[in-house]
Amino acid sequence: MITTQSFSAALLLSLPLTALAGLPHQGSLRRYHYDHAKKAALSRRNGPTFKLVDDYNNQTFFDMFDFFTDKDPTNGMVTFVGKEEAQKSGLGFVQDDGTIVLGVDDQTVLQPGQFRKSLHINSKKKYDAGNLFIADFWSMPHGCGTWPAYWTVGDQWPQNGEIDIIEGVNENTSNQITAHTGSSCVLPNTLAKTVGRVVGNQCQTINGDNRGCAFVTDDSITYGHGFNMQGGGVYAHIWTTDAIKVWFFPRGQIPQDIADGNPNPDGWPTPAAIFPGGDQCDLAQGFKQHNIVFDITLCGDWAGPAYAASGCPGTCAQAVADPSNFKVAKFKIASLKVYKQQ
Ligand SMILES: *[C@@H]1O[C@H](CO)[C@@H](O)[C@H](O)[C@H]1NC(C)=O
Ligand SMILES: *[C@@H]1O[C@H](CO)[C@@H](O)[C@H](O)[C@H]1NC(C)=O
């Protein structure tokens, strides 16, 4: 016979209340709920609060971004299209269910060597330290030849910094979170615990090395096919002059305070990546006036050279020519919200 003492708190919480009706010790259960609620309320009062300042939603999204139509600075085999063309060719639009879709042309058959139409959009608004960005994706682009990214960046690269929240190439199964600076900045040897592992600690572009400092998340649900198969999730990052921290929450583990529109990063689990400020990195100097960017390029400086090693067939240019490779090369965005720390 199971006694109430052997129930874990988690199990008790997961049971419908009617299932508990006949159990003794209801008082202590109620007490548990009470303490739990009190603790949650207290931690919310102690930490900073956040006020929604920009809601990139199904009504406003495309009015809040500029379409970048210059040549891809990373040498991808893409033609970035403008707003009208994006809407006309179905590259950027809002689905009937309110989902915001950003994609690559998946219709046109090309000759190897020709460039494919794609998107690169920059938020009209620029942000400084003191903001929390919460992006909820149903799915993200992946596939041979693709190099998608969700990032923020300042003018005059690398002087005003760059933060890459989602980035990878081809059929990657892990995400790379990277910071780039112009001013001196390295990750300290001793870092707070992160889910991601450090793959580079030099954030500054120096002596021609522009790889940045980065964390890779090894769990395949954080990127590409694996991310999409479990319904995507939330990438959240807070940027203050003390630290830049990035979290990933898979679809089934999004904190309730995010769903409630009352985010409380102090209560969230271990971040995927932390870029701390301090003696070794002046975040106020390194990161200024960032636009939010989404882009999907093809081949180019990263996906190109990594193409064969990714197990992709033929050449990257051949992949670009075949539209069927880009059916799932889409960001499907449920919401993007920016909160200001109060
Ligand atoms: C668009 O967003 C609004 C506000 O979040 C929501 O109420 C509405 O249902 C969405 N529209 C669709 C078509 O989902
Ligand atoms: C993505 O795949 C390329 C090889 O195609 C590899 O060089 C790179 O490290 C991978 N990135 C991550 C984040 O796993």
Protein residue with least CA distance to atom 12, ligand 1: 98
State the pLDDT confidence band at 61, using cuts at 50, 70 and 90.
Answer: very high
CA of 222 to the centre of ligand 2 (A): 13
Distance 335 CA to ligand 1 centre (A): 10
Using one digit for the tens of pLDDT, what is the confidence trace for 99-151?
999 999 999 999 999 999 999 999 999 999 999 999 999 999 999 999 999 99
pLDDT band, very low/low/confident/very high, at 91 (cuts 50, 70, 90): very high
Domains (range + CATH), the chain: 7-341 (2.60.120.200)
The percentage of the chain sitting over the pLDDT mark of 70, rounded to a whole number, equals 87
Dump strand ranges (E) for the chain.
Answer: 50-56, 65-67, 78-80, 92-94, 100-103, 116-118, 120-127, 131-139, 146-153, 162-167, 175-180, 197-200, 213-217, 233-239, 243-250, 273-276, 290-298, 330-341
* CA terminus-to-terminus distance, the chain: 52
User: Alpha-carbon distance 303 to 313, whole Å?
Assistant: 13
Q: How would DSSP label each residue in 267-298?
A: GS---SEEEE-BTTB-HHHH--SEEEEEEEEE
Which atom of ligand 2 lies at the shortest distance from residue 167's CA? Answer: 13
At 187-230, the pLDDT tens digits run 999 999 999 999 999 999 999 999 999 999 999 999 999 999 99
Ligand 2 centroid to Cα of residue 306, in Å, is: 7
How much helix, strand and coil, in percent to the nearest 5, is found in the chain?
25, 35, 40
Q: How far is the CA of 171 from the centre of ligand 2 (A)?
A: 9
The per-residue pLDDT of the chain, averaged, comes to: 89
From the CA of 336, the nearest ligand is: 1
**Max Cα separation, the chain?**
74
Which atom belonging to ligand 1 lies closest to the Cα atom of 94? 13
pLDDT at position 171, please? 96
Q: Could you tell me which residues are beta bridge partners of residue 134?
A: 236, 337
* pLDDT at residue 15 tops 90: no
φ and ψ of 43, to 5 deg: -65, -30
Look at residue 45 in the predicted model and tell me its pLDDT: 47
Rg (CA), the chain: 22
CA-closest candidate to residue 132, choices 52, 24, 249: 52
Q: Whose CA is nearest to atom 5 of ligand 1?
A: 57
The separation between CA 152 and the C-alpha centre of its own chain, rounded to angstroms, equals 10
Catalytic annotation, pick one of 84, 85, 167, 171 = 167
Options 84, 85, 162, 171, the catalytic residue: 162
Q: What pLDDT shows up at residue 217?
A: 98
Rounded to 5°, the CA angle 175-278-341 comes to 70
Q: List all residues 6 or more positions away from 221 whose beta carbon is below 8 Å from its beta carbon.
A: 227, 229, 230, 233, 250
> Looking at ligand 1, which residue's alpha carbon is closest to its atom 13?
98
Residue 47 confidence class, pLDDT cut points 50, 70, 90: confident
Q: Higher pLDDT residue, 22 or 116? A: 116
Amino acid (1-letter code) at residue 74: T
User: Is residue 171 annotated as a catalytic residue, yes or no?
Assistant: no
- Percent of the residues in the chain that have a pLDDT greater than 90, as a whole number: 86
Distance of alpha carbon 90 from the chain centroid: 23
Residue type, 97: D
Determine how β-strand 92-94 pairs with β-strand 100-103. Answer: antiparallel
Ligand 2 environment, Cβ below 6 A: 168-170, 172, 174, 176, 216, 306, 309-310
Three-state secondary structure call for residue 34 = helix
DSSP assignment letter at 4: G
Distance CA 51, CA 127 (A): 14
pTM: 0.87
Q: How confident is the model at residue 31, as a pLDDT?
A: 39
Residue bearing the bigger pLDDT, 18 or 82: 82
Residues 6 or more apart in contact with residue 325 via CB below 8 angstroms: 143, 144, 145, 319
